[in-house]
Each structure stands twice: as structure tokens, then as C-alpha cells.
Amino acid sequence: MASGIPIEISGLTKRFGHVTAVDDLSFTVEPGRVTGFLGPNGAGKTTTLRSLLGLVKPTAGTATFDGTPYAKLERPLETVGAALDAAFHPGRTARDHLRVYATASGIAKARVDVVLEQVGIAEYANRRVGGFSLGMRQRLALAYTLLGDPGVLVLDEPINGLDPEGIRWIRIFLQGLAREGRTILVSSHLLSEVQQTVDEVVIISRGRLVKTGTLSSLELDSAPRTVVDSPDRSALATALDTAGLEYTPGRQGFIVDEPEPGRVGHVAFVAQVELNSLHRLRSGLEESFLQLVGEPNGPDATGLEPAATGTAAAEASGGPEASGGPKASGGPEASAQPEASGPADQPDAPDAPPAATTESEA
């Protein structure tokens, strides 16, 4: 196994005409950890990964592996395993699919059966890929990244479409690889998909960096608020307005932008408003993530759902990755990001019709 090396993004900018997909982006991914690369669709994740893998030429800045661009790595597949866009021939078996890339990269064919065993699909090695479910293709894509036993893995939406068993499997698998000292970068547009898998996060929105750090630091960034309710909500609203407290109506009361329930209770007491609910609410990870990337707030863990009124964050706009961004070629170093939806993590019958292969956008 090659040693894990840092992934270094420095001042990366990529423009497509007048559209800036990535804007002065800088971060480092260290070995020995699973790092989540997060952001809404169109945030610039895929453009960043394509720049890192030499599939897109940056307008400015660099994207390297410990200072070396991908194109200048002596043995790329033995240094970096990457799964971006789907590139499966539906008529080939899983074993033959991997043998093609092993031969092209000068890797011993014996590695094919080793990686099929690693990802748990050895018993389906002679099945045609066209009959595989999404989960099986995800595993085959991961097997491809492991062919050269690399120290760095770059995976675009590897959890997308997996069933609960498949998600648990890939979580344990990636964490095991990280413990071996490998560098693992996993992209996703949903924090909920990866929050039990990653150790650290890099969050971008509209091509810009908005947060790096651990998941616990993300949760601490979200200020606590107070939930309050009354049989007379009209009187409660008047009391909050008079006290100058900002709030959002919800299904179970008002969500007040005040961390101390005692202050909210005092406001109600002074106004002689009866209360039937008063407690502190700390935002969850998902809500913190949505606030960082400029997405509207969703329901929180208490079942409170902010109403349409009040101040809401602007929705993240779609970028060139949502429409019209460059596509990776089907070459050995750029293959294998499966479709975005599909059946459970089990193969279909051997004679199932070939599934269409499409490129997913991140």
C-alpha cells in the first residue's frame, strides 16, 4: 500500500465563460482521516475534484497531491484511486471490467480478485455489470479505486443510493482504510449521508469555502435558541415584539432567537402571558449545514417546522455543475461514478437487461 499523502487545494478558481464555478478555494485533506467534501448541488464540488484529477484546467490556483499535480504522478493508479463518472460496459463481467484497467495501468491481474473480495462482490465476479443494481455498481466502482492499492481515495457521492446495510458497510470500510493511514476524500450534497462516516468536513457553497473542521465544531457553531408556546399565541407574539425579540412561528410554538429560556419566560411573565411550553433548542448538524450553505431551514429535531414568514436564508443557486459543466472522459483514471438512484444493494438476475449509464452531477 502506498502511504497516504495530503490533498492540497490552494487558491483554486475555475470559470466557464462568465460563470465562476470555483472561487479562490483553499483547503487541505490530511492522511488518516475520512474527510467529507460537502455542499449543495452546483456548489463546485465536482469541478474541484475534476481539477484535482487533471480533467479540468483551473483558471487559477493549484490542486495537487502533496504538491504534485495528478498528471505528473509517476504511477497514478497506485497513488490515487478515484471514482467520479460512470463508465461501465453493461456486457462485461465485473472481473473483466477490472482486468481492462489493471492491464492498461500495468497492475497485476491478481489484484482483481483481491479487490472484488475486499468490496464483497467476489461471488458475482462473472456476472455482467448490466445486471447489477446501483449498490453493486457502487461497490464495483470502489473496487476499481483500490486496484493499485493507493494511499489516497477520492470518491464522488459513494453513498448515494445505497440501502441502510450498504451505507453501514461503506462507513466501516472507509473508516478502516483511514486507520491504515490512507487519505480519504468523500463528496456529498447531504450531510446526513456522511455524518456517521467522516471525521472532518470541508463545506463549500457557490464555489467558495464556508467551513472546515470537525463535525463537533460544526454543531458548536450553531447558537442555541428558545422554544416557547402559549394558549394565547397572539398575546405571546405581542410580548415578544415589545421586547424586541426575533422569532419564527412553528407548529409547536415560536422559535425565539434567544439562547436563555429564562429571559423569554420573564418577558411572558411581565406581559402576564400564560405559557405551556418553554425550553432551549440547540440546532442539529443538518440545520447548521443548511445555514452555512445558504439553504432554507428545514424541520429540526423537535418537530418544529419554521413557517414561511420571517427571515430565511437565500436558496443556493445552481451552477455550471448542475447544467453544462464539463464531463469526465471514460478513461481508466476517470471512471466509475454510478447512477444517482436504483434498487437495493443486491444484484439482479444474470439476464437482466443492461441498465443505462448516466453521469451524476454533484
Of residues 62 and 226, more confidence is placed in 62
The pLDDT, as a whole number, for residue 283 is 60
Residue ranges of domains in the chain, CATH in brackets: 7-220 (3.40.50.300), 223-293 (3.30.70.100)
The pLDDT, as a whole number, for residue 219 is 64
Q: Are 25 and 173 in contact (CB under 8 A)?
A: no
Residue for grid cell 440545520: 287
pTM above 0.85, yes or no: no
- Smallest CA-to-CA distance from 285 within 225, 196, 207 is with 196
The pLDDT, as a whole number, for residue 101 is 92
- Smallest CA-to-CA distance from 149 within 82, 78, 84 is with 78
Is the pLDDT assigned to residue 269 strictly greater than 60?
yes
Cell of 127: 456476472
Average of per-residue pLDDT across 315-338: 39
The pLDDT, as a whole number, for residue 338 is 37
Rounded to 5°, the CA angle 130-161-180 comes to: 95
The pLDDT, as a whole number, for residue 345 is 43
Percent of all residues in the chain with a pLDDT value above 90, rounded to a whole number? 56
Phi, psi of 233 (to 5 degrees): -65, -30
The pLDDT, as a whole number, for residue 326 is 37
List, as one string, the DSSP characters of 49-105. HHHHTTSS--SEEEEEETTB-GGG-SSHHHHEEEE-B----TTSBHHHHHHHHHHHH
What is the tens place of the pLDDT at every residue in 218-241? 765 566 788 899 999 999 999 999
Name 66's Cβ contacts closer than 8 Å, sequence gap at least 6: 5, 6, 8
> CA-to-CA distance for 142 and 186, rounded, in angstroms?
12
